Amino acid sequence: MRSARPQAASGPVTRFGRDLRILLHLLCGQPKSGDQRTRLQAFYGPQAGHYDVFRDRLLHGRERLIDDLHAALLHARQDALGDAHVIELGGGNGRNLEFFCARLDAFGQVALVAFYVSAAKPPDGQIRHGALTRWFWPRWFAHDGVHPNPEHLAALRARFPAHQFSEERAPVPYLPGFSVPYYRFLGRLG
């Protein structure tokens, strides 16, 4: 089931202009002064109406993650988890909730999609990113308050031994040749 995407104003010129504004904010990063709320508002406020559309093209995999989670739960429990809860932290300004739609009553696992970089020597079965990728992407995202880190995936895998994950790359809009690594993770205790 596909969810409705936020609608950008029509016309490629309008979309391009909005995308350039978002790219400018990404390049400049968050302000360095003020409390966290003030910094986030200054960074996301001017681009809020169009950021999710741009982010959907940058961070692939959110909708597919929700589909994978739904399929895994239905496979595990045909009766669905009627008392399940959805807790979302930092998920694309709440955008992920739009992907849940009618599937909300079936969830009971930990699932996320996130930018990341591998460790210099990742565990067997994981992709090893080159030194440039491991250096560049953490610096690119850090000034926006996003911190791709190999320890995040390692901690998830250790905490949730029963899990599935995939490592992928997504092209960066308007930056030909650039692709950012991310992972999709589905985990359950026990």
- 16-72 per-position pLDDT tens digit: 888 888 778 777 777 778 887 887 787 777 777 777 777 777 777 777 777 777 777
Q: How far is CA 178 from CA 40, 64, 78, 163, in A?
A: 26, 22, 42, 29
Residue 111 placed within a domain? yes
Residue 26 placed within a domain? no
Residue 15 placed within a domain? no
Q: Inform me whether the pLDDT recorded for 9 exceeds 70.
A: no
Q: Is residue 166 within 8 Å of 111, Cβ to Cβ?
A: no
Q: Determine the average pLDDT of the residues in 132-151.
A: 86
Q: Inform me whether the pLDDT recorded for 5 exceeds 70.
A: no
Would strands 179-188 and 110-115 be described as parallel, antiparallel, or unpaired?
Answer: antiparallel
| Confidence bin at 179 (pLDDT 50/70/90) | very high
CA distance 28 to 181: 21
Q: Torsion-angle region of residue 170: left (phi > 0), alpha (psi -120 to 50) or beta?
A: beta
Residue 123 placed within a domain? yes
Q: Determine the average pLDDT of the residues in 107-116.
A: 75
Q: Determine the average pLDDT of the residues in 3-11.
A: 51
Q: Which helix (H) or strand (E) holds 48?
A: helix 48-58
Side chain identity at 129, as an amino acid letter? H
| Confidence bin at 96 (pLDDT 50/70/90) | low
Q: How far is CA 141 from CA 8, 87, 111, in A?
A: 24, 24, 22
Residue 20 placed within a domain? no
Q: Give the contacts of 34 (CB within 8 A, at least 6 positions apart).
A: 42
What are the φ and ψ backbone dihedral angles of 13, each rounded to 5 degrees? Answer: -70, -45
CA distance 57 to 44: 17
Q: What is the pLDDT of residue 94?
A: 43
Residue 172 placed within a domain? yes
Our CA angle for 64, 145, 22, nearest 5°, is 70
Query: Between these two residues, 15 and 106, which has the higher pLDDT value?
Result: 15
Residue 30 placed within a domain? no
Query: Between these two residues, 139 and 12, which has the higher pLDDT value?
Result: 139
Q: What is the pLDDT of residue 3?
A: 47
Q: What is the largest CA-CA distance in the chain?
A: 51
Residue 111 domain boundaries: 60-188
Task: Give the range with max mean pLDDT: 87-91, 96-100, 171-175.
Answer: 171-175
The whole-chain average pLDDT of the chain stands at: 75
Into how many domains does the chain fold?
A: 1
Residue 46 placed within a domain? no
Smallest Cα–Cα separation from 144: which of 171, 120, 123, 115? 115
Tokens at residue 169, please?
A: 């790359």
Q: What is the pLDDT of residue 129?
A: 96
Q: Inform me whether the pLDDT recorded for 105 exceeds 50.
A: no
What pTM was computed for the model? 0.59
Q: What is the pLDDT of residue 189?
A: 65
